[in-house]
Amino acid sequence: MKLLVLVIPIALLVAYSQLIVKWRTSAVSPTTSESQRVVEKLFTYLLDPYIVSGYIAALAGSFLWLFVISKISLSIGFPIYIGITFLLVILGSWLILHEPITLTKLIAVMMIFTGVTLGAMK
């Protein structure tokens, strides 16, 4: 349980960053035309406060990971962190971005949830 308490905040920050960046890159620049230069698009993204908040969340998650990984085993902590992040991104992309959840994704999510649960047990 202690492991989950340490890892879940990091997974939430990383999942937030992924969801917010996907949402805003689609909203800020819904079409990709050849006439729009890459540098121009990059500046548009970098000036968007939501995208910046996503990168700040990812950076905060990275710094928190430094403290967490010093307290837990990497071979246990990392798979659980990635698994929880995957679950949160799939759920968030369905709820927020209205992306479909297929049967294959649902089975994968259930398998990952089972693995995270088993991995968190002593």
Number of compact structural domains in the chain: 1
Cβ atoms of 61 and 94 closer than 8 Å: no
Q: How many CB atoms lie within 10 A of CB 101?
A: 14
Cβ atoms of 112 and 83 closer than 8 Å: yes
Q: What is the span of the domain harbouring residue 69?
A: 2-120
- pTM higher than 0.75: yes
* Per-position pLDDT tens, the chain of length 122: 687 888 999 999 999 999 999 999 888 765 656 666 778 888 888 899 999 999 999 999 999 999 999 998 888 888 889 888 998 999 999 999 999 999 998 898 889 888 877 877 76
